[in-house]
Amino acid sequence: MGQNPVIEHSTIGALQMHGLPFQLGLTPARLDHSSPTLGQHTDEVLREAGLEPAEIDTLRRDNVIR
């Protein structure tokens, strides 16, 4: 990647990235999203781990997760 791409971040807006420090042989490297925010994927991860929505709600209510 010759240029530093600008990625839209969900909380801070436009964010200029530095690109990737490596090249891949068969798959072009690209930056198409910013890093996740704290707790952004918590529900998805816990569902995949087998927790029910009510259990996740309880954890959130009890401030165990965000």
Per-residue pLDDT tens for 12-62? 888 887 777 777 788 877 777 777 889 999 999 999 999 999 999 999 999
**Residue 51, C-beta contacts closer than 8 angstroms, at least 6 positions apart:** 59
Q: Tell me the torsion sign for CA atoms 7, 13, 16, 18.
A: negative
- The answer to whether the pTM exceeds 0.85 is no
Angle among Cα 29, 14, 31 to the nearest 5 degrees reads 5
Q: Which helix (H) or strand (E) holds 15?
A: strand 13-16
Angle among Cα 19, 25, 28 to the nearest 5 degrees reads 45
